[in-house]
Chain A
Amino acid sequence: MKKFFKVYLPFTANELKRNLTYKGAFYLFIFCSLFGTFINYFLWMAIYGSSSSATLGGLTRQEMVVYVFMSYVTAALSMIGISDNVSEDVVEGTVAMNLIKPIDYRLSLVFMAMGNVIYRFFAPCILVWIGLEVYKVQVLGLGITPISNIVLYLISVFFSFMIYVLFDFCFGMIAFFTTYIFGMLMAKDALLSFLTGQLIPLSFFPEVIQRVFDFLPFSSMVYAPTMIYLGKYSGNELMFVLFRQLVWVVILYVLGSLIWKRVTKRLVVLGG
């Protein structure tokens, strides 16, 4: 076990260092995504302001503030794309350089993504998070979020991260068949911002569609952890939500292994 981390942790450390090298791209990412979140915030405030009922989709106005910003934090921490790495490796043929080493390609990508998680946790997630809590107490007049919720939230976010990364690995495998997946990446991002509840809380959708979402892994990515943070689940329901996340981790892991096995059978290394 110790050896395992010794082998793969450098990938995490590397990604951290790499992020520090290319700072510009990173600040641009923070700016663009925060910008969207603030638009989202003002939009919701306008909707609540003009609505006659105090709760919409099961969320009060104050809860919606928390939802908007915490879903941002959750998405930033858990939705870390690795399919673009896979696609780059395939297009440039560097996948060969990964295969000559005695390491598991997927694990190295997962640990690499972890480096992004750590970096994003400090910039900007923790700042947004603290800002939100201060805002909650000072402006909204609510209490601070209980520690138990935060701990459960962090566990859930870890599962979200695993689900997303394992899903994205499977998605990235498409690159082995089509070589180039940029267009699909764009489509995936657009679709996921919907399906994960990042754009609109899933509770706004009609009952039937919510049932469908229950059977997809996406609701476990952003919606579930954010609702846990809000304390919307309790007792058995909470256990069920976490258990469902764990099940998705296992399913996507097995699926990824199967696809990888098939892909390496018919692998073509481009260039030279």
Chain B
Amino acid sequence: MIEVNHVSKEFVSPKKYPGLKGAIKGLLSNEKVTKVAVDDISFKINDGEIVGYIGSNGAGKSTTIKMMTGILNPTKGECLVNGVNPSKKRMDNAKNIGVVFGQRTQLWWDLPLSESFTILKEIYDVSDEEYKERMSFLNDVLGLAEFFDRPVRTLSLGQRMRADLGASLIHNPKVLYLDEPTIGLDLVVKDKIRDAIKEINERYNTTVILTTHDIGDIEELCSRIIIIDQGKKIYDGTLDKLKRTYGTCKKVSMAVKHIDRIESIDWSVITGKADSVVLEKDDEGKKVTLNFDNNDIEVSDIIHAAMEVTMVKDIEIIETELADIVKEIYNHGL
């Protein structure tokens, strides 16, 4: 179980001024700027959960992950990973976690991949039997065998990422942190990585914490998501709930005979509110799109009302996608 209690992280850096003049001024001044990267975040994650930790660039995702792994010390508050405080007992904590930073590698750049795995085996003190079992499993799900003997620097990004994920799992960690594991990967490799994460989670009941900008990752993997924005937690709950709560805006697009008749419908009679249904026409004047909130009016009512006044040739119902919800949240907050 992971507990994060009122954790904050501030970065203090010298103040910089623009231009050459500013650079000289910067040399002489002693002003400091404090940036709050993470602001009083708390949450609990149970064993075996897959949690998506999302937020826009610079929201503080990676900083939180780094605090949970023990790389950074929180300015305030504390994390507990299975009862261990990572910032106090980094080494103890490190034995039980696996980490993948999508933009970096933990493998030895100049050595064949197989060597990296042998070193990691020693570092984490994995027995020969366990190692064999784990390797055959990782081979199945990640297909490491095809490039196992090649130096890491010659691997493609996709291969390297698979190798990195494998390397983080060699000691069967209880918790797996993935910081943008699918960044820059093609669709096939993405699928492979996702399947591997799912299978590891099911087979070993590994807790997975995942930051990503890929909506597909979230939809396929995460049962629960935490959204942070400017260092603050703004949402924590299931994916379904997020969709139900914030994805209520729907669209009905219809091809009709007489658009003007649709336009003249007084929706406030049904919804009891003015302007609850917004109407858009396409350029040719054949199609009409109605935007509305599912809480105000049902789709069936819209269609019913339209069919009463004119002939409807075609209907399309468009639901809000998760990507739109997330975009909306990043732009405006909740």
Task: Tell me if B95 and A93 are in contact (CB < 8 A).
Answer: no
Instruction: Decide yes or no: A100 and B104 within 8 Å by CB, A17-B110, A265-B73, A267-B71 being known contacts.
Output: no
At the interface, yes or no: A212 with Cβ under 8 Å from chain B? no
- CB-based nearest B residue for A20: B110
Task: Tell me if B122 and A6 are in contact (CB < 8 A).
Answer: yes
Q: Which of B62-70, B155-163, B232-240 contacts A (4 or more CB under 8 A)?
A: B62-70
Taking CB atoms, residues of chain A closer than 8 Å to B122 are: 6-7, 10
Task: Tell me if A102 and B94 are in contact (CB < 8 A).
Answer: yes
Instruction: Decide yes or no: A102 and B73 within 8 Å by CB, A10-B118, A269-B66, A272-B101 being known contacts.
Output: no
Task: Tell me if B108 and A14 are in contact (CB < 8 A).
Answer: yes
- CB-based nearest B residue for A100: B99
At the interface, yes or no: B17 with Cβ under 8 Å from chain A? no
State the interface size on chain A (CB cutoff 8 A): 28
Interface residues in A97-128 (C-beta closer than 8 Å to B): 97, 99-104
- CB-based nearest A residue for B180: A272
Instruction: Select B103's contact among A6, A103, A271, beta carbons within 8 Å.
Output: A271
Task: Tell me if B106 and A97 are in contact (CB < 8 A).
Answer: yes
Taking CB atoms, residues of chain A closer than 8 Å to B97 are: 100
Task: Tell me if A99 and B71 are in contact (CB < 8 A).
Answer: yes
Interface residues in B68-86 (C-beta closer than 8 Å to A): 69-73
- CB-based nearest A residue for B179: A272
Interface residues in A1-40 (C-beta closer than 8 Å to B): 3, 6-7, 10-11, 14, 17-18, 21-22
Task: Tell me if B90 and A99 are in contact (CB < 8 A).
Answer: yes
Task: Tell me if A102 and B95 are in contact (CB < 8 A).
Answer: yes
Interface residues in B90-143 (C-beta closer than 8 Å to A): 90-92, 94-95, 97, 99, 101, 103-106, 108, 110-111, 115, 118-120, 122-125
- CB-based nearest A residue for B70: A99
> How far is B125's CA from A6's CA once the two chains are assembled, in angstroms?
9
- CB-based nearest B residue for A95: B71
At the interface, yes or no: B11 with Cβ under 8 Å from chain A? yes
Least CB distance from B127 to A in Å reads 12
Task: Tell me if A10 and B104 are in contact (CB < 8 A).
Answer: no
- CB-based nearest B residue for A104: B91
Task: Tell me if B101 and A97 are in contact (CB < 8 A).
Answer: yes
> How far is B126's CA from A3's CA once the two chains are assembled, in angstroms?
12
> How far is B105's CA from A230's CA once the two chains are assembled, in angstroms?
48
> How far is B120's CA from A97's CA once the two chains are assembled, in angstroms?
13
> How far is B105's CA from A104's CA once the two chains are assembled, in angstroms?
19
At the interface, yes or no: A264 with Cβ under 8 Å from chain B? yes
Q: Which of A3, A96, A100 has the most CB of B within 10 A?
A: A100
Task: Tell me if A272 and B110 are in contact (CB < 8 A).
Answer: no
Taking CB atoms, residues of chain A closer than 8 Å to B118 are: 10
At the interface, yes or no: A94 with Cβ under 8 Å from chain B? yes
Taking CB atoms, residues of chain A closer than 8 Å to B94 are: 99-103
At the interface, yes or no: A258 with Cβ under 8 Å from chain B? no
Task: Tell me if B125 and A3 are in contact (CB < 8 A).
Answer: yes
- CB-based nearest A residue for B63: A269
Taking CB atoms, residues of chain A closer than 8 Å to B110 are: 14, 17-18, 21-22
Mask, A247-272, CB within 8 Å of B = 1, is: 00000000000000000111111011
Taking CB atoms, residues of chain B closer than 8 Å to A266 are: 73
Interface residues in B160-214 (C-beta closer than 8 Å to A): 179
Taking CB atoms, residues of chain A closer than 8 Å to B125 are: 3, 7
Q: Which of A11, A93, A97 has the most CB of B within 10 A?
A: A97
Taking CB atoms, residues of chain A closer than 8 Å to B95 are: 102
Taking CB atoms, residues of chain B closer than 8 Å to A269 are: 66, 71-72
Least CB distance from B289 to A in Å reads 41
Task: Tell me if B104 and A97 are in contact (CB < 8 A).
Answer: yes
Taking CB atoms, residues of chain A closer than 8 Å to B105 are: 97
Taking CB atoms, residues of chain A closer than 8 Å to B119 are: 10-11, 14
Taking CB atoms, residues of chain A closer than 8 Å to B72 are: 267-269
Instruction: Decide yes or no: A264 and B73 within 8 Å by CB, A17-B111, A269-B66 being known contacts.
Output: yes
Least CB distance from B13 to A in Å reads 8
> How far is B120's CA from A269's CA once the two chains are assembled, in angstroms?
23
Q: Which of A10, A103, A264, A271 has the most CB of B within 10 A?
A: A10
Task: Tell me if B104 and A272 are in contact (CB < 8 A).
Answer: yes
Taking CB atoms, residues of chain B closer than 8 Å to A265 are: 73
> How far is B71's CA from A21's CA once the two chains are assembled, in angstroms?
31
Least CB distance from B246 to A in Å reads 28
> How far is B167's CA from A100's CA once the two chains are assembled, in angstroms?
12
Q: Which of A17, A93, A101, A271 has the most CB of B within 10 A?
A: A101
Known: A14-B108, A18-B111, A100-B71. 10 other contacts (CB 8 A): A6-B122, A7-B125, A10-B119, A99-B69, A100-B99, A103-B123, A266-B73, A268-B72, A269-B72, A272-B62
12 residue pairs of the A-B complex, CB under 8 angstroms, read: A11-B119, A14-B119, A17-B110, A21-B110, A97-B104, A99-B90, A100-B71, A100-B94, A101-B120, A103-B123, A264-B90, A272-B62
Q: Interface of B with A (CB < 8 Å)?
A: 11, 62, 66, 69-73, 90-92, 94-95, 97, 99, 101, 103-106, 108, 110-111, 115, 118-120, 122-125, 179
A-B interface, 7 closest residue pairs, ranked by CB to CB distance from nearest: A102-B94, A10-B119, A100-B99, A97-B106, A99-B71, A102-B95, A102-B91
